[in-house]
Structure 1
Amino acid sequence: MARGGINKAVVQKARQALLARGEHPSIDAVRIEMGNTGSKTTIHRYLKELESLQPTATLSVPALSESLSQLVAQLAERLQEEGAEQIETARVQFEQARETLQAQLQISQQALAALQQQQQIQAAALASESEALATCRSALQTEQSRNASLNQSVGELNLRLADRDEQIRSLEDKHQHARDALEHYRAASREQREQDQRRHEAQVQQVQMEVRQLQQTLIVKQDELTRLNRDNERLLVEARQAQRERQGLQDVREQQALEVRTLSANLAQSLGAREELLRQNQGLAEHVAGVTLVLEETQQALRLALAQLQEQAEPVQPSLSPIDFSEPPDL
């Protein structure tokens, strides 16, 4: 179908108009006749179809008048238009039906997928239920075995319960004997407490007598304490007097200590002067020793020199007596 409202009937009408005017129905002329609408390819295709149909129509239909030809052309054009409209309507209906069917198909596919998913879920649930059923059967067998074991245990417990009842009756008898013994013990304890209470009362009376004696003794001791306090006051006065005398002796002692420190300082100064004199004496002794050593060396050198001179002077003065350097000169 041509775009922009161009169809075969419109092209045929434009072609017939050109032929009626005696013009050649070319592609451009037909397009201009249609108001410059439609593509040249579509116009060319429709023209070829019309040209292929033209000889058949010429051979089968006798020549008609121009008015009849126009009427036939109008009828053909109307037929073409109605056919195109019906085709377009059918196409639209087909598209709508196709879209509806596609929507229904999509819905059906979704429903099928949902059903398949539900079937899978149900299959999984069935498998889970089957597994749970097998587990329940196994648990049932286990519970049945356990129930049988528990029934056996119940029988054993009933036997033990009967033994325990017998033990309880025996314990009740023992408890009764123990209660009787407890009552006897309580009576004996009550009598013992009464005896202890009487003994305690006697002891309390004795203690009260001792307390009275101690109170009398306390009075005597208080008198002695008063006398001792007076003696203590007298001794305190004497102690204060002795303290004053001691303070005087302390002052004398401090005076003597001051004198001793003064004498010690003088003694230290004397010792320092003595040490200084000893150091000076030691220095002089060292100096004298050094001078003596130098003098001895000088004497020895003079003796050697004199001996040499004597050896040299013997041929000249044999009568000279040697000089004695054994005594050091006066310093």
Structure 2
Amino acid sequence: MARGGINKAVVQKARTALLARGEHPSIDAVRIELGNTGSKTTIHRYLKELEATELARRKIPLGLSEQLANLVAQLAEQIQEEAQATVAQEREQLAHERRDYEERIRQAEDRSQQFEIQSAKLTEHLQSLQQTLHQEQQQRQNTEVEVVRLQQVERDQLARLLDREEQIRSLEEKHQHARDALEHFRQASKDQREQDQRRHETQVQQLQVEQRQFQQTLMIKQDELTQLNRDNARLLTEARQQQKDLHSLQRQLEEHAQTHTKEMQARAQFEQENSVLRERSETLLSKVARLRKAKDANDQQIVKLQGRLVEALTQLKLLGQDVALD
């Protein structure tokens, strides 16, 4: 709590206490009695005023009514000054706490805005990740379709290759049959043999040409099949890599979701702290209202004391008149 300034009533109280103990009420002694507070200049001024008042009282003897009036006036002034000092201290404390509360509210609002910005960024990043994940899933589906298509192409190529091999075997059988027929005809007739031999040679050449063509076609198909197998292996590798990337994106998405949840919890905690600060502010405002009521009560008490003083003076005057008549 902040310490309020000294007043004349406080200095008078300290001076009276020193005189009661038989000590000289010097400036330093009064300041020590006040707890080492207050300006020496202010203390000196109040001491001068009190000494002047006391000296004036010693020179001019006062009546009982005037002494009682002065005493009541001093008490009323002292009560009023102490009440004002207490109110000033409470006001200063309230202002300090209110500034602290406003600063904490501002910091909480700043942090809340930062969390809202971070939450918006995380939401945007989450949407981007979801879009990327959707694209990856679509690409994965396209890759799977392409793999199925290539596998079907491979099966078709294998079927055609088997068909070509069957044709080659059939041609080889035909070739063998032709050679057997040629041998049979060679035994039957020399001329027929020569004629059949020429025809056979012609057929053999054609068959050899066809065989070479089939072999070349078979080699080309085998090269195509090898390339398809390589493409299939590459697509499978890319599909596995995309699967790994998909798992990694899913983990990142889960981590961002956990971070977002923690930030929402921190935001709820800050809102709870703001609620506590608001309750503290309402309590301080209630305390100010009570202090104002206490001040009003002190003012009313001073008015009552002044009224009682007037009644006492009136009674003293009446007593004085009765004494004079006697």
Q: Give the alignment's TM-score, normalised by structure 2.
A: 0.31
Structure with the larger helix share? 2
Q: Which is greater in Rg?
A: 1
